[in-house]
Chain A
């Protein structure tokens, strides 16, 4: 099958590659670009581990072809740290609140939470839970992921983070 030349912006850098039409975006990101932070979990659009941000949308990159991302602006977990290399508010939140155990779902969780907080800077607990309902975690029971996102929201909004009473 003839390959197609694609160009797109990933984490601020122009990238290009040759792909078959059937190449999934997640495979392009991991194998062509060598960015393995984006994980492949279920491969059936359920788990959200492969979530990346494309043109202001959270997208499961296992359910989109790389050719469809031609010309788009993508952010992956590799693009989430601050410019000086320090952790972003979300990354810090996951660290401080123990929002991960095995860590497999974390890149997708953070990319989804990133867009959620852009659209709703002060989400309530239920809004966070519905907002990450397309991401599955099999370790944490979600409690600390919710706290991590609340921590990040507080930090971004410049207010003090207070853990809700258990």
Chain B
């Protein structure tokens, strides 16, 4: 399979990339790791006339601490995330989730920016970003703006990105020391998208849940924050009745597609189970 013809551009700065994307208009696509876009181009489901490769922009790569934020450049690969001690120490749920994405070869190329900016409901990082309260830094012809991950996703493959804009970094607020976390992902095989997945970040105080956020992957056309489910567990010791209530509240907002991963009822059911398991594992980890 060979992609359709296109012109290749390799800008050396964000400003040049933005200018190219603005000038070339709708026929141009930014190219990050390429592990979503290139397969789509080979299937001719995507036929961009211009590719603007972001690999030449050194400023888009790297992980640094800025106050209470971990700032991760958009072209930082999943492999880079896994190799980072800073990530493992301060936001360990990113390690847990990155290891569940695709396979080793794909993680060497696949980037966090591409994962979150593509708007694919099957991608794992978006729900995680919403759970962590991350902001995306977008740079375009109109300047720089930060958009909360929770406000970014509008529909499958539709996001808050304006024409000419690229996502340049993600700003991850470092969770409280001693927080509990878990990313539970049900998938058919290594490399598969989630049948359903749930991210939980919580803190405990005196045996009870003090704060809790829950995100859901691939059970709706966008990633979801399960706010009612999270509220249902705050102040409780995660007893069986509370767990059931939380799973039901999460299932109530799911609307997965019926596909090869299962019918709607099944995907909602296992989505609830992912929430329960993630809550239990996160609580057990919390200090």
Contacts and interface: CB of A to CB of B under 8 A. Distances in A.
20 contacts: A1-B5, A21-B8, A22-B3, A43-B42, A44-B1, A44-B43, A57-B79, A59-B105, A59-B108, A59-B109, A64-B34, A64-B38, A65-B38, A68-B34, A116-B104, A130-B104, A133-B103, A133-B190, A134-B104, A134-B106
Interface string B69-84: 0000000000100000
A43 B10 CA distance: 25
Contact of A64 (B1, B41, B51, B109): B109
B102 A134 contact: yes
A36 interface: no
Contacts, number: 79
A75 to B, nearest CB: 14
A51 to B, nearest CB: 6
Interface in A41-71: 43-46, 48, 51, 57-60, 63-65, 67-68
A65 B41 CA distance: 12
B207 interface: no
Nearest to B83: A119
Contacts of A60: 105-106, 109
Contact of A68 (B4, B53, B190): B53
Interface size class of B (residues with CB under 8 A): 20 to 34
Q: Which of B53, B103, B109 has the most CB of A within 10 A?
A: B103
Interface of B: 1-8, 10, 34-35, 38-39, 41-43, 51, 53, 55, 79, 102-106, 108-109, 190-191
Contacts of B6: 1, 21-22
A67 B8 contact: yes
A38 to B, nearest CB: 13
Contacts of B2: 22, 24, 27
Chain A interface size range: 20 to 34
Given A63-B35, A65-B34, A131-B104, 16 more contacts: A21-B5, A22-B3, A24-B2, A24-B3, A43-B42, A44-B39, A45-B35, A58-B108, A59-B105, A60-B106, A60-B109, A63-B38, A67-B8, A67-B10, A68-B34, A68-B53
A133 B191 contact: yes
A63 B103 CA distance: 14
A65 B55 CA distance: 12
A20 interface: yes
Nearest to B7: A21
